[in-house]
Each structure stands twice: as structure tokens, then as C-alpha cells.
Amino acid sequence: MTLDRLKQHFPWVTLVVLILIVGAMDPNFLRPQNLVELAGDIAPLFIMALGMTLAIYIGGIDLSAQSVANMTTVLATITLPLFGVFSALVVIAVGFLFGAVSGLVTTRLKVPSFIATLAVGGIALSVGQFASGQRALYMDAGQRDRAFGWMLGSTAGIPHELVLSLVLLAFAWFIQNRMKAGRILKAVGAGELAAVASGLRVDRYKILAFALSGMFAAIAGLLFSVKLSGGSPTLAEGFLLPAIVAVLVGGTPLTGGVGGVLNTLIGAMIVAVVRASMLYLDIPATSQQIFFGIVLIVAIALTIDRSKMRIVK
């Protein structure tokens, strides 16, 4: 079996090994209910990573996801008294719009996606700061429970936020594997010049990928807001790096064209288990960021397709 074929199995093998290692540290970790709760806790990060997968799948990157999620927590808190449950549609539409702007800047102005999304993320941060008055906002508990209380409950021991994550995973998987858009996104990631030469409307689908990434980031922000009963321009701070790590260690390389949303499910669980192990070892949050930074470098080095990047600048 070649190294390339072995690489396909690295993510799930890594996940199993990590679970066994943490289970050896604390046998209670292996209890099914504990693993389910662990998956539920990682739901907002996983949803953010799902959207980012679509941007990375085409060979781009979305660095605005965290800022869009932060902005969404503020907008959700502000719009809840006005629109109730329909505030979800408002913030999701705003996230979609911000993602589409990133796509337009990338395709129409030919600005690299990491610059375009970084700039759009800065705009989202400013919107969140302005709308919140640079302070934390709090939701009315009654209004929150009437509109979004179902997100916080559980059925047969399964957290509803986990169910929501799986529904969104199914939606993203359907786009990737059962729609024309998914086939074109794969073609763009595999070789954009060839996709253009074959007559595909590449720019339109690149914009769609970034728009969907913004939409998923907004849904993650909404879930953050509901879970923590409020909003802040920094509420989702520290989630961008683990979300990128979840995509890359899951097997979707920065050069795009392979991997996908199912891979990100495995990657997100790897991140969840690693974070849990750090809690058991009493490793502080600052050191966790250092660890994820190192993992990110290693993941890129191992997964990147150098045939598409003969020169690195």
C-alpha cells in the first residue's frame, strides 16, 4: 500500500489512538454518554469548520469565520427581541452576505482569499463592536428559550446541538456529493485553470463556497449566543485556529480538491479529544493555542499537494 493511500486512513486512525490514550488516562472518558457530550460541546466549532471546509476544498481559505461568528452573537442578541425565532434568518443571511463579499473580492478584484477574508473579518469585527457598544450583551432568558430553547435540550441523551450539527453535515455533504455545485467545487480545487478552460463558471461557484462558509460561521455564532445567553465581539475568540486544524487534520489540504466535509467530522473529533486531554493534564488555554499552532504547521506540511505549489512565497 502506497503512502498516499495510507494518508487516507491517518485521520480516523489518529482519532482512535487518541481516544484510547485519553481513555487510559481516565476510563470514564470512554463512557458512551461522555463521548456524546464531548461531541455536543464541539458543535459550534464543528459547524464553523464545516463552512471553512468548502472554502479550503476549492484551494482557498476563510479567515473571517471567527469574526463573522463573533458579530453574529451580537446581532442575534440585538434582533431576538424584534424578530424572535426569525432573528436566526436575519443573522444567517448576514453571514451569507459577508461570505459572498469575500468571494467577490477574491474573484472580481483578484485579491488572494487569505487577504480578502482577513479584511472582511475586520469589517465584521467592527460591525460587532459598533452594534454592541464594545460591551457584552445579554439575552432575555424567556425570549431565548421561546425562540431557541430547543437548541439547548436533549432527546434520549443526545444533545440537540449535536443533532443540529449532523443535519448541517448532511446538508453540506449533499451539496458536495449530490449537486452539480459540489462537482464543480472539486474541479476548481483539483485544478482551477483546467476548470476555467473547460468552460465552467468558476467565479460563481467560488463566491458560493465563501458565501456558504460565511453562512455556517453565522450559524456557529448563533449557537454560541444561545448557549451563552448573550453576545460579544469576542465571544468566539480562539476558535479560528482549532477550526482550521479540524479541516486540515481531517484530510482536506490547503491546496484543495480532495477531502471534504466528512473528513472534517473526524478532524473536529480529533480536536475535541485533544482539548479534553489538555483539560485532564491541566494545560492552560495559552499553551493550547501553541499546540494547535504546531499541529497546524505539521498538518499543512504533511497534506499539502506540492505539485500545485512548486514555489512557496
Residues comprising the chain, all counted: 313
> What cell numbers appear for 110 in the block?
483578484
Whether the CB-CB separation of 211 and 52 falls below 8 Å is answered with no
pLDDT band at 303; cut points 50, 70, 90: low
What is the per-residue pLDDT for 251?
87
What is the per-residue pLDDT for 313?
45
In the block, which residue shows the cell 449566543? Answer: 225
DSSP string, 184-200: HHHHHHH-HHHHHHTT-
Give the mean model confidence (pLDDT) for residues 145-170.
92
Residue 23 has pLDDT above 80, yes or no: yes
Residue 157 has pLDDT above 90, yes or no: no
Give the mean model confidence (pLDDT) for residues 43-63.
96
pTM over 0.95: no
Q: pLDDT tens digit string along 112-139? A: 999 999 999 999 999 999 999 989 999 9
> What cell numbers appear for 20 in the block?
484510547
pLDDT band at 69; cut points 50, 70, 90: very high
Whether the CB-CB separation of 116 and 62 falls below 8 Å is answered with no
Residue 3 has pLDDT above 60, yes or no: no
90 vs 77: CA distance, rounded Å:
11
Residues 6+ apart with CB under 8 A from 68: 95, 98, 99, 121, 124, 214, 217, 218, 221
Residue 35 has pLDDT above 90, yes or no: no
pLDDT band at 310; cut points 50, 70, 90: low
Give the mean model confidence (pLDDT) for residues 4-31.
81
Alpha helices in the chain (DSSP H): 3-7, 10-25, 32-41, 43-57, 65-83, 87-108, 113-132, 141-148, 160-178, 180-190, 192-197, 202-228, 240-250, 261-280, 285-303
pLDDT band at 42; cut points 50, 70, 90: very high
Output b/e per residue, 187-223; b: 16+ Cβ within 10 A: bbbbebeebeeeebebeebbbbbbbbbbbbbbbbbbb
172 vs 184: CA distance, rounded Å:
14
Amino acid occupying residue 117: T
> What cell numbers appear for 192 in the block?
482551477
268 vs 264: CA distance, rounded Å:
6
Output b/e per residue, 131-141; b: 16+ Cβ within 10 A: bbeeebbebee
Average pLDDT, the chain: 89
Residue 6 has pLDDT above 70, yes or no: no
Residue with the bigger pLDDT between 142 and 14: it is 142
Whether the CB-CB separation of 88 and 215 falls below 8 Å is answered with no
pLDDT band at 298; cut points 50, 70, 90: confident
Report the relative pairing of strands 158-159 and 137-138 from DSSP bridges. Answer: unpaired
252 membership: H or E segment, kind and range: none
Residue 279 has pLDDT above 90, yes or no: no
